[in-house]
Structure 1
Amino acid sequence: MRFDDIARTSPSIPREFTNFPMSVSLVDHSAPSHVFNDYLAMRTTRAGTISPNDRKVHVTQTVSTIFQFRAIDWGMENCELHVAIPPVDRPTTLALYRLNATVPLDISTLSFNVRPPRVAKLSNIVLGQDSLDWHRKLSCAMDDVLVFELACSEDEVSGSCDIEWWQAREETAPGECFTTLYEIR
């Protein structure tokens, strides 16, 4: 497409936008072949069956959540993953992993058995009485698929990790929602 031939200002003017996950899916290592679906959240309209943008996130000792993103703009190779979570009643440590995926995952067949392998642990994320706004810069190129898994940390005491919320695109009052933001800067 010859995007490289377009004249650009120098130095470049930083721009940013928010790119929400194209999918949010659950996997369960205690039921490794189970495929979670969002049929309960689907609704029928005149145009057909649609799934809402808000997705359930659930993390327990056995269940983890997989977030899938696509870098959608040319020339904006600096990505930043944001995880914002309101205060929680009891401290919990979650682990965020990067998964080895270069093509979009088929969420209709995604289970623990077929999820991409973990390639790196990005961080332990400690939830507590204060709101959390964790972020990490990543390099990305146009059309890159970036997949992350949020799971209980291996350091968590057995049975103490059970967190659930909705990943929401629409911002609500502080403390009412969880939003995973993927900002391209």
Structure 2
Amino acid sequence: MSSQASINFKPFLAILCAAATLCSTGLSIFLYVKTSAIIDFTEIRTSPIPATFRRPNPYINLDRITHVSDFPPITNFPEVVLQMLLNDSRRPMKEDHRMQRTKVGTIYPDDRHIVVTREISTVLQFRHYDYAMEKCTLKAVIPDYAENKPFNDNIVDIWLLDTSDEISAQLPNTWTHAPERRNLLTSLTISPTSDPSYEFDCRSNEFTTFELACPSSPNLRCHVDFWQDRRKLPTGGELYSNPQYLDYLIITHRCIHYSKAWSGLKGAGVMLRLIHISNIRFNTVSRFGEE
């Protein structure tokens, strides 16, 4: 008797499952048709990428507070460092990185390449975060251990680029080609005896984009090439034998040596910092703005 009931029960389950499947399919079709009448999915799939990210002001009503004292300077690192070949009028940019694929995944170190030659320029973009810190100084500092070692001066032009928009890999239209040059701000002399800097206004929550390039005059030396790492302090160097009539300073993580092969300044394992440490650095320094 029980076996007969079991045999009769199996067709009932099959019919029940088929009915449930038909109901689910019908409900899905009904919802899709109704939703399509309200939302145009084609428009969603083809909607353009936004030109820029929305950056709301995080400092609401802080301008109503009376400033009783100044704040010390802060250090700001560039959000973007890109290289550009100067022989292409379209000004295409690329990122020279040290990304590596390892057993634990892709590693993207915070190393950035600053290179300025007759063939290559570098684009830097700073975002000014802090409220009322709107007086900035772009500064280049030579390491302590290089100040008493002779090498030739190098001239770097600092151009302001014609954009106030954010440059980001998530915004492809901003990442591919560099904006046009707006005006020449200054020329910095990179040498062991100078402390080059340039002051400019930097409004809070906005972007400033520079291009570091060689001067147009072929008679001026221009060759600066170093990697920066803003997250760690490079290891101090060990001084190796150096020939006379030094032309080219090379700074690496663990050694310093000199070469006559070039007539510029080159370094590796460096970072963008304000504090005077054993590195080369391009950075902006923000100071509290006066009312």
- For the 8 Å contact 1:92–1:127, the answer to whether it is kept is yes
What's the CA shift for 1:100? 1.7
Change (3 A) 1:127 1:78: closer
Q: Which residue of 2 aligns with 1:90?
A: 152
User: TM-score, normalising length from structure 1?
Assistant: 0.79
Alignment of 1:24-173 (within 5 A): 24-32=81-89, 34-38=92-96, 41-44=98-101, 49-86=106-143, 89-106=151-168, 110=175, 114-128=177-191, 130=192, 132-157=194-219, 161-169=222-230, 170-172=232-234, 173=236
| 1:103 alignment partner AA | D
What's the CA shift for 1:84? 2.0
Matching of residue 8 in structure 1 with residue 110 in structure 2: no
| 1:4 alignment partner AA | D
Q: Distance in 1 between matches of 2:100 and 2:140?
A: 28
What's the CA shift for 1:50? 4.5
Change (3 A) 1:49 1:31: farther
User: TM-score, normalising length from structure 2?
Assistant: 0.53
Deviation per CA, 1:43-63: give whole Å up to 9, x if none.
357996453222111111121
Q: Distance in 2 between matches of 1:126 and 1:120?
A: 18
Q: How many residues align?
A: 178
Segments of 5+ residues of structure 2 without an aligned counterpart are 1-59, 238-250, 252-277
Q: Distance in 1 between matches of 2:202 and 2:154?
A: 30
Sequence identity percentage: 27
Structure showing greater relative contact order (alpha-carbon pairs closer than 8 Å, 6 or more residues apart): 1
- For the 8 Å contact 1:83–1:134, the answer to whether it is kept is yes
Deviation per CA, 1:12-43: give whole Å up to 9, x if none.
3232110111111100122455542345x113
Q: Distance in 1 between matches of 2:127 and 2:117?
A: 26
Q: Which residue of 1 aligns with 2:283?
A: 181
| 1:59 alignment partner AA | V
Q: Which residue of 1 aligns with 2:270?
A: none
- For the 8 Å contact 1:166–1:177, the answer to whether it is kept is no
- Structure 1 window deviating more from structure 2 (175-184 vs 56-65): it is 175-184
- Larger strand percent: 1
What's the CA shift for 1:105? 1.5
- Larger helix percent: 2
Structure index of larger Rg:
2
Segments of 5+ residues of structure 1 without an aligned counterpart are none
- Other structure's SS at 1:25 match: strand
- For the 8 Å contact 1:93–1:156, the answer to whether it is kept is no
| 2:67 alignment partner AA | R
- Other structure's SS at 1:4 match: helix
What's the CA shift for 1:73? 0.8
CA RMSD of the aligned region, Å? 2.9
